[in-house]
C-alpha cells in the first residue's frame, strides 16, 4: 500500500517534471501540443480544487453558526451571498447552466454592483491605513530608513499634479527612480528568486522535497 501512497506520487512528479522540462527544448509540433494539453489538464484539476476552498470556507462558517461562536450571525450572510450568486449563475438568465453563459444576467448584475464596488472600496480603505503605517515606518532614524522615505516621497509626489507644481523636475526624477535603481534591485531579487525556484523544482522532481505529499502514511 505504501507503493500507492508514497511511491506513485513521487513517480508522477518525476515523470511530469522531466517531461515538461525537456519539452521546452523540443521545437516540434507534438511537443507544443503536449504542453497545451497538459497545461489544460492542470487548469481542469485546479477547477476541481476551487471546491476545496469552497468547502473550507463553508465548513468554517457552518461551524461558527452551529457552535454559536461570537459573531455567528454574520456567517449567515456568507451563505446568503454565495447562495444567491450561485442561484443566479446557474439560472443563467433563463438559459440554465448547461448552455453557454449569457451576458447581462442577474449574475453579472451581482458582479458589477456588489463584488466590484465592495472589492474596490475594501482596497481603497488601505489608503487610509497606509498613511498611518507610513507615519510609523518612515521616521528617519537610520540612513536606510531615510533613503526609503525619500524614494517613497519622490515617487508619490512625482505621480500627482501637485508634484509638478512644487518642482517640475519631480516627475522625471520619480521615473528615473522607477526605471534605474528600482529596476536594478527588482532584477537582483528576481534573479535570486528564480535560482531558488529552480532549486526547489529540482528538489521536487527528484523527490527530495516532499512537503506537497502532506503528513501521514
Which of the residues 107 through 136 are near another protein (CB under 8 A)? 107, 109-128, 130-131, 134
186 binds another protein (CB under 8 A): yes
Q: Does 10 bind another protein (CB under 8 A)?
A: yes
30 or 52: CB nearest another protein: 52
Alpha-carbon distance of 4 to 128, in angstroms, equals: 53
| Terminal-residue alpha carbon distance, the chain | 9
- Cα separation, 68 vs 55, whole angstroms: 19
Query: Does 94 interact with another protein (rule: CB under 8 A)?
Result: no
Task: Extract the C-alpha cell encoding 171.
Answer: 516627475
Task: State which of residues 69, 140, 166, 197 lies at the interface with another protein (CB under 8 A).
Answer: 197
Alpha helices in the chain (DSSP H): 2, 8-23, 29-66, 72-91, 106-110, 116-137, 143-158, 161-166, 170-179, 181-205
Q: d(Cα 75, Cα 62) in Å, to the nearest integer?
A: 8
Task: For another protein, give the closer residue by CB, 29 or 47.
Answer: 47
Residue number with CB closer to another protein (29 or 163): 163
In the complex, minimum distance from the CB of residue 168 to another protein, in angstroms, rounded to a whole number: 19
CB of 45 to another protein, least distance (A): 5
| Smallest distance from another protein to CB 95, Å | 11
Smallest gap from residue 108 Cβ to another protein (A): 10
The answer to whether residue 208 forms part of the interface with another protein (CB under 8 A) is: no
Of 47 and 168, CB closest to another protein: 47
By CB under 8 A, the residues from 47 to 86 that bind another protein are 47-55, 57, 71, 74-86
Residues 134-173 close enough to bind another protein by CB under 8 A: 134, 144-145, 147-156, 159-160
Mention every residue, 6+ apart, whose C-beta is less than 8 A from residue 71: 64
* DSSP assignment of 32-86: HHHHHHHHHHHHHHHHHHHHHHHHHHHHHHHHHHHTT-TTHHHHHHHHHHHHHHH
Is residue 192 involved in binding another protein (CB under 8 A)?
Answer: yes
Amino acid at each position: 500500500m505504501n507503493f500507492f501512497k508514497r511511491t506513485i506520487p513521487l513517480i508522477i512528479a518525476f515523470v511530469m517534471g522531466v517531461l515538461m522540462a525537456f519539452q521546452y527544448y523540443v521545437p516540434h509540433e507534438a511537443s507544443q501540443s503536449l504542453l497545451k494539453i497538459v497545461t489544460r489538464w492542470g487548469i481542469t484539476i485546479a477547477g476541481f480544487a476551487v471546491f476545496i476552498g469552497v468547502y473550507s470556507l463553508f465548513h468554517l462558517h457552518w461551524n461558527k453558526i452551529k457552535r454559536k461562536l461570537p459573531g455567528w450571525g454574520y456567517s449567515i450572510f456568507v451563505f446568503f451571498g454565495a447562495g444567491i450568486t450561485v442561484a443566479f449563475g446557474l439560472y443563467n438568465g433563463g438559459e440554465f447552466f448547461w448552455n453557454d453563459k449569457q451576458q447581462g444576467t442577474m449574475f453579472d448584475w451581482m458582479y458589477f454592483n456588489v463584488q466590484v464596488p465592495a472589492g474596490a472600496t475594501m482596497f481603497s480603505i488601505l489608503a487610509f491605513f497606509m498613511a498611518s503605517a507610513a507615519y510609523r515606518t518612515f521616521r528617519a532614524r537610520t540612513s536606510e530608513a531615510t533613503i526609503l522615505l525619500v524614494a517613497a516621497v519622490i515617487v508619490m509626489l512625482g505621480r500627482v499634479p501637485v508634484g509638478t507644481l512644487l518642482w517640475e523636475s519631480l516627475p522625471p526624477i520619480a521615473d528615473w527612480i522607477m526605471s534605474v535603481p528600482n529596476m536594478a534591485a527588482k532584477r537582483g531579487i528576481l534573479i535570486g528568486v528564480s535560482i531558488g525556484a529552480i532549486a526547489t523544482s529540482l528538489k521536487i522532481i527528484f523527490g527530495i522535497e516532499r512537503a506537497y505529499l502532506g503528513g501521514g502514511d
